Structure 1
Amino acid sequence: MLDVLMRVAHRKEKKIQEEEQKKKDVGSCRKITDMLTKTVSDVTSTVESADTSDHTGSTTHRSCILASVFRAQKKGLLDSHLENQTEKERTYWRKVLERVVAVVKFLALRGLAFRGENEAFGSENNVNFLGIIELLAQFDPFLANHVSRLGNAGRGTVSYMSSTICNEFIELMTKKVLNNIIAAVKTAKYFAISVDSTLDISHTDQLTFIVRFVDSSGKPVERFIKFIPLSGHDGETMMNVVLDTLLEHDLSIMDCRGQSYDNASNMSGKYNGLQARIKQINPLAEYVPCSAHSLNLVGSCAAECCVAAVSFFGLLQALFNFFSASTHRWSILKSTIHGDVIKSLSTTRWSTQHDAAHALKDSFAEIRSALIQIAEDEDQGVVSEPQYSSLESTSDLKRIIMGLASLVLKVLIIHPIITSGMKSAGSFTTGQGSVKGITAGPWSARG
């Protein structure tokens, strides 16, 4: 019994001694920690206050750095394996991005669609972007391996082939191109503007904004800036859009030396048009109406003043409407004519009248033969007789048509010559002022 009590007392005494020793160790650690903290702080403050420029440039420091680099190359460092793994990952994804960027540039330059409803690799109906990636993968083992592993991995897995990445690359390329254009305009300092609006397929009226300037080689160039949705067409609204666009790209309206628009009143109006409002701000911004648009109006109005011309072009449009209204009639016409078929006229572009008159002139006999064949076809339904029966008496009508066609052709053949002359007349040559190169010439090429 006494032995048991002695052992218990011995254990308690030993436990008390261990606890006291732990307290001493903790106290010692705290002292050492405080001492080290103070030492590091002192060393840091000493290093920060010391001028190390002499040491950094010393021979001893350089020798140590070179020795460290040579040792790392020869025997490696503790993190050399991690460094090699990181470099391999970086190289891998760089190769992937090179191929993805090349496909994005290819589609963007050609204005082709990127994405669609079917965005799965291996599908026969997938979109252009994925289809081109698959095409390249047939001849590129690296890309083929990447597509097989991560092609249809889904969201949350990095592959750099998603629609989000495509949109980001398109935005980055857009900003890069636009910044280069704006930088070139700023280098040239003086510029001219040309704007025009049109409805797109979604029935949104968009304003096309173009700048024209003389580059460093002395050559006038035109650059597209952006499409701008319009909420109104009055001169004040258009002026605000133009000024906001210039301000957005850090271009001053006071450096504008030319403006070119069509002949609409809201654009070319003498008092409230866009050109007048711009000239109130900057009198040096000379207005140059679009020559091609003006010439188109001259040809159209001149033809409308002549009864024979109106009848002639009405006949051309009636012929086109008659044949195009039926697939059967159109097939008869196609089988009869070996050259160009008849064409529809345009209410906005006078040059289409040339194409329609030329097709009728070259294929008059074939067109008449096709009309006779349709008239003698018992399977044909009832059609409007005046559209073709008048062509039966070709003695007078053919002479009138050929005479009018010859006259129209002569006038329209002069049209491209005049346009070409206006192009060359405004060309920029060495020694001519920048203002002449900006405000004349190639504006006439647009209509």
Structure 2
Amino acid sequence: MNIEVEKVVLDKAPHNAQYIAHDIQKQILYIFATKVKKKICTELGKNKYYILVDESLDESGKEQMAIILRFVDCDGFIRKHFFNIVSVVDTDALTLKQEICKVLDNNGILVENMCSQVYDGTSNMRGSWNRLQALFLQDCPYAYYVHCFAHRLQLALNGAAKDVKVVWRFFSMLTNIVNFVSASVKRRNELNLIRKAELKELLDSGKLETGRGLNQGRSLKRAGATRWGSHFASITSLMSLFKETKILLLEISEHGLNQQFRGDAESNYIAMMSFEFVFALLLMDKIMGLTNFLCQVFQKKKLKIL
């Protein structure tokens, strides 16, 4: 259908060419990424912009730095684009700055046009002396540093939870329960089988509403160490699977493989069925329903700060 493609594929390439080799796929993705970045640079032009940078470990344990650009384009529209992800040797402020400048220079983006920088609150990012925001201020005196609002909210919630013993014990017990049930594929499958049996019983009795998107398969979710919003997801997942989790823990405590396994299941069962845990579960579900909404608002492209 495409004459240019036909010339290459039919005239020059073997008839069995599928172009699904790993190296070819990477080349195609690189071409796509290059075109997307060129489009973003065209929208940006010579306008002012600010950067959002965060770094974390990938699955292989390598440090990765994500760079996001936010700016007003030539037509007056606010744009916010994921621009690049870079592997870094370490998270030293000078290394991060060099890598960010390299990405900007390679794409023809002037560093001096930076008017703001947004990071989390770690010391290598926010420090007033020889930290990332301070290093950029030397080159761009108007590139003011803003601590991510969503991250600040998460830090405040984390700090508040540590000061309330009941809440801190609750999250500790919640983590133990989720980790115990989700530790093996077998236990996750058993939980799903219990849920399916419960759903079937409710459907047969007519006590459960049916329809598209309802009664989806679910699993318990672990709370992340750095994302307080994941704690809310962990709470809601346990609430939706509370009965199934209770049945599973009870079965393991009675018919587990060995004494230690049965003891761990029983201790988690006792903790989960305690008044303190259930009260904190319901309380934190209500409170974090509000804070999670606020956290999501902080991450919107358009925000009325008042």
Fold shared, TM-score > 0.5 on shorter chain: yes
Match of 1:382? 259
Deviation at 1:317, TM superposition (A): 1.9
Give the 5 Å matches for 1:386-425.
Answer: 387-389=265-267, 391=269, 398-422=274-298
Q: Percent identity?
A: 24
Q: 1:360 to 1:229 in 2, by over 3 A?
A: closer
1:259 lines up with 2:169 in the alignment: no
SS of equivalent residue, structure 1 residue 260: strand
Alignment TM-score, normalising by the size of structure 2:
0.77
2:38 corresponds to 1:94: no
Higher helix share: 1
Matched, 1:183 2:42: yes
Say which of 234, 245, 270 aligns to 2:92. Answer: 234
* Aligned equivalents of 2:277, 2:31: Cα separation in 1: 57
- Which one has a larger percent strand, Structure 1 or Structure 2? 2
The aligned counterpart of 2:201 is none
Unaligned runs of 5+ residues in structure 2 are 199-214
Aligned residue for 2:202? none
The residue number in structure 2 matching 1:212 is 70
**Other structure's SS at 1:216 match:** coil
Distance 1:175 1:318, change over 3 A: closer
- Contact 1:318 1:387 survives alignment (8 Å): no
Q: Which amino acid aligns with 1:290?
A: C
Equivalent-residue separation in structure 2 for 1:411 and 1:92 (angstroms): 57
**Using the alignment, how far apart are the partners of 1:172 and 1:389 within structure 2?**
55
Q: 1:321 aligns with which of 179, 192, 198?
A: 179
- Whichever residue aligns with residue 4 of structure 2, its letter is R
Alpha-carbon contact 2:232-2:292 (below 8 Å) kept: no
The superposition leaves residues 30-85 of structure 1 with CA deviations (integer Å, 9 ceiling, x where unpaired) of xxxxxxxxxxxxxxxxxxxxxxxxxxxxxxxxxxxxxxxxxxxxxxxxxxxxxxxx
Encode CA deviations 1:84-113: one digit per residue, 9 max, x unaligned. xxxxxxx98524279x7xxxxxxxxxxxxx
Cα gap change, 1:312 to 1:247, in 2 (>3 Å): same
Residue 263 and residue 167 in structure 1: after superposition, are their counterparts in 2 closer, same or farther (change >3 A)?
A: closer
Structure 2 CA distance, aligned partners of 1:240 and 1:298?
Answer: 31
Q: What is the match of residue 228 of structure 2?
A: 350
Could you tell me how far apart the structure 1 residues matched to 2:37 and 2:238 are? Answer: 47
CA distance in 1, matches of 2:5, 2:265: 65
The whole-number CA distance in structure 2 between the counterparts of 1:180 and 1:418 is: 32
Q: Which residue in 2 is equivalent to 1:39?
A: none
- Residue 279 of structure 1 is aligned with which of 95, 118, 137? 137
Cα 1:192/1:173, change in 2 over 3 Å: same
In 2, the alpha carbon distance for the partners of 1:393 and 1:180 equals 55
CA-based RMSD: 3.5
Given that 1:261 and 1:268 are in contact with CA atoms closer than 8 Å, whether structure 2 keeps it comes out as yes
Query: Does the CA-based 8 Å contact 2:116-2:145 persist in structure 1?
Result: yes
Q: Return the alpha-carbon distance in structure 2 between the equivalents of residues 205 and 391 of structure 1.
A: 38
Alignment of 1:38-437 (within 5 A): 94-96=4-6, 146=10, 150-152=14-16, 170-187=29-46, 189-337=47-195, 338=198, 340-377=218-255, 380-383=257-260, 385=263, 387-389=265-267, 391=269, 398-422=274-298, 426-427=302-303
